[in-house]
């Protein structure tokens, strides 16, 4: 299992990891920062709902559905998505929002509905961190 990036709070990550372990009935050593949620952990969409609820309770936050996609719908007045597929600006915006995902996995032409296929455990850590920072003002 790969080490955590240096700027990651191990305690917060452990709580995120625990949410995945409980929802998916996995052991700690199966859930790493880089684990792909759908492919590596074998999650399905309802599992994501379960994980999100556990994170919301653990951190006392509300995670908006489709929040990442919404932030990339329009970028500087240009559409981030056309006919359900990412445009170049949309893909670039999502690469900024999800630095934990290798850049070559988010490309123009990708179906927006398939975005969850690139999500890592680290993606959820970053979502939680951003929401906690927003909450703290």
Which residues are at the interface with other proteins (CB under 8 A)? Answer: 23-25, 36, 38-47, 49-50, 52-54, 56-57, 62, 65
For residues 135 and 128, what is the distance between their CA atoms, to the nearest angstrom?
10
Smallest distance from other proteins to CB 88, Å: 27
User: Which CB sits closer to other proteins, 50 or 105?
Assistant: 50
Task: Determine what percent of the chain falls in helix, strand and coil, rounding each to the nearest 5.
Answer: 55, 10, 40
For residues 122 and 95, what is the distance between their CA atoms, to the nearest angstrom?
14
User: Which CB sits closer to other proteins, 62 or 73?
Assistant: 62
User: Which CB sits closer to other proteins, 75 or 121?
Assistant: 121
Smallest distance from other proteins to CB 22, Å: 8
Angle at 59 between CA 55 and CA 64, to 5 degrees: 60
């Amino acid at each position: 299992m790969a080490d955590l990036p240096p700027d990651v709070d191990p305690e917060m990550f452990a709580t995120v990891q625990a949410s995945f372990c409980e929802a998916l009935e996995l052991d700690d050593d199966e859930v790493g920062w880089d684990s792909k949620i759908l492919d590596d952990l074998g999650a399905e969409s309802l599992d994501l709902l379960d994980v999100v609820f556990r994170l919301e309770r653990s951190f006392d936050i509300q995670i908006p559905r489709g929040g990442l996609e919404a932030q990339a719908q329009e970028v500087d007045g240009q559409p981030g998505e056309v006919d359900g597929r990412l445009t170049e600006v949309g893909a670039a915006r999502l690469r900024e929002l999800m630095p934990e995902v290798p850049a070559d996995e988010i490309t123009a032409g990708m179906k927006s509905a398939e975005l969850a296929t690139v999500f890592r455990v680290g993606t959820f850590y970053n979502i939680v961190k951003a929401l906690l920072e927003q909450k703290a003002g």
